[in-house]
Every structure is written in structure tokens, then in C-alpha cells.
Amino acid sequence: MEKASKLLLKLSRRLFDDTSEQEKFVEALIHPKSFPPCILWCKEEPETLPFVVETPTSWQPSFVNRLALREKPGKHQLHEQGYYYCLDFSSVFAASTLLTIGSPVNLVFDMCAAPGGKSVFAWQALQPNLLICNEVIGKRLGMLISNLKRCNIQSSAVINKDSDILKTTFDRTSNLVIVDAPCTGQSLVAKGEKVPGCFHPIAINKCANRQKRIIANSAQIVAPQGYLAYMTCTYSLEENEQVCEWLLQKFPQFQAIEVSDLSAYQSHITTMPCYRMLPQDGLGAGAFTALFKNTEEGEAKQIDLDVLSIIARF
């Protein structure tokens, strides 16, 4: 525990120059507090809401409600009937960069989709003609498929392939690729969960290397003039800003996109447009998010539906 505390203090000093912010950050993780639940509507809202709703933030989409702390939306019959999807407000923050995409979106590819929250958000926000949800961990497929079916997410397909394979199969086909990257999950500590080793440099570097491999493969799936959304639920620089900077160096055709609605959350660690929600703000346990555009000219490649029908579940 003592070693973990030292690593947390070290992280706080890397994140903040101001000692008071360091103290607030450490306090939020050492003494976790509950965050208000959140729901994403998949069907038309009932005339009378069965929950007490908090005042929305300026960047919060209209199809999302942040609820009073005491509410239990996962136990309501509307949840079972697929009216909404329950998710952390930090996830709403991370996915809200997608609202910046104004052009029509034909194909959305969610590279690390389970349990499905970002996929449902993208489907509701962008109404794509086709949503492909990939999950490389087989035991997580059931939960993903169940959530998509319960929420009646139409024109969607679920696949179970490594990104190394997908970069060739779906090369330059997708108008949007979402990478909700597997990470050390440090923000879970702010929820009171135990995440052993999440602040250790070995675990951080292992995740960062995996994230770079996934985001590089995902970049090759993005069509010309398409978008790549990167997000995590962790705090370390190596898994966030440094992965994004690495992407821009490796793929100079990508440009980081400014999200004006999130300007108050701009990371002070870099001048590149990217955004952090922090647990001491009281909205959610924390998240990092950035949106990139492929500036190459040209047309998207047509997806091979025959190949998709072989590897996917609809």
C-alpha cells in the first residue's frame, strides 16, 4: 500500500504543478466518493421521467440524462425493455467528441467495443448506415451482443478479431473508428474499486505499447477525411497524451481536432487538442479523449460485405 501511495503521489506531481490540485487529485482517489448515475436513451423518452435528473452540463448531449445520486436506473423495468443504456458520465465525456463530426457517417467501427457503451453512443449520435463492433476478448462478446440487442441497435455487426487482421480486411473503409483503448484503469480507483498495480510503470508501459499497436492498426482503417476517436479511463501521460503524440508522428496525415465544447477540459500537459475529466471535479471518475481527422483526399473503400458476413454476427 505504501508503494502504491508513493506512485500515486508521483503521478499527481506529473499531472499538476499546483500543489492544491495535487492534493485534490490524491484525495479523490484515497477517499472515493460516489458519482451520479447516467443513462443514454435508445428509445423515445417517456412523457414523465421516472428519475430525478441533474442539471445538464453545457456539453452534454440531449439524449443523455445525469441522474440524482440515489437513483438506481439499472433496476428499473425501462432498462430491461431497452429504453436506455446505463453508463458512467466519464464515458459520456469521452464519447462527446463524436458530436463534433458534422458530415454524414456511413460506417462506424468500434475497435474495442465491449460492453457497448461507446457503440450505443455513436449509433445514437451519428445514425450510421452500419456499425461494426469488434471485441477481441471472446468472453466479453456475450455482454456486448446482449446490450446491442436489448437496446435495439440496428444495422450493426459484431466481430471477434485482432486489430492486426482488421487493418487489412477493412483498410480505409470507415468514416469513424473508435478506440476506447484497454488501459490500466486508474480511474476505477476513484470509484472505490481495487486495481492492483495500476500505477506501476511496468503496467503503464505494457498498456501504452498495446495502445500504440491498436491505434496504429485502427488508423489504417480510417477512410480519407474520416475520423479516429481515442479515449481511455486512466490518468497516466504514457497512455494518453504520449500515445496521441506518437500517433501524429507515425501518421502525419492525421490532425488533432479541436472540440470547442470541451475547451475547459483541455489538457495542460500538451498544446495538442485533447481533453481530461478529473475525479476532483465531481462529475465522474475520470477520462481522457481526443479526436483526429485523416486529412488525406480520396474516397472511402467499399467494405466487402461477403467477408463481413463470414466473420461477423448480426
Which residues are documented as binding site? Answer: 112-118, 135, 162, 180
Closest CA to 254 of 244, 267, 268, 265: 244
Please report, as a single letter, which amino acid is at residue 80.
Answer: E
Residue 177 DSSP code: E
Running DSSP on this structure, what letter comes out for residue 53?
Answer: B
98 CB-near residues (< 8 Å, 6+ apart): 121, 122, 125, 126, 176, 178, 229, 291
- Alpha carbons within 13 A on the beta-carbon side of 231: 28
Concatenated DSSP letters of 213-272: HHHHHHHTTEEEEEEEEEEES---GGGTHHHHHHHHHH-TTEEEPP-GGGGGGB-TT-SS
Angle CA 211–213–216, to nearest 5: 105
Per the CB < 8 A criterion, the answer to whether 212 and 251 are in contact is no
Bridge partners, 87 (sequence order): 38
User: What amino acid positions are annotated as catalytic residues?
Assistant: 233
The answer to whether 245 touches 277, Cβ cutoff 8 Å, is no
In which element (H, E) is residue 159 found? strand 156-159
Provide the annotated binding site for S-adenosyl-L-methionine: 112-118, 135, 162, 180
CA 214 to each of CA 204, 205, 209, 210, 255: distance values in angstroms, whole numbers, following the listed order? 15, 14, 9, 6, 18
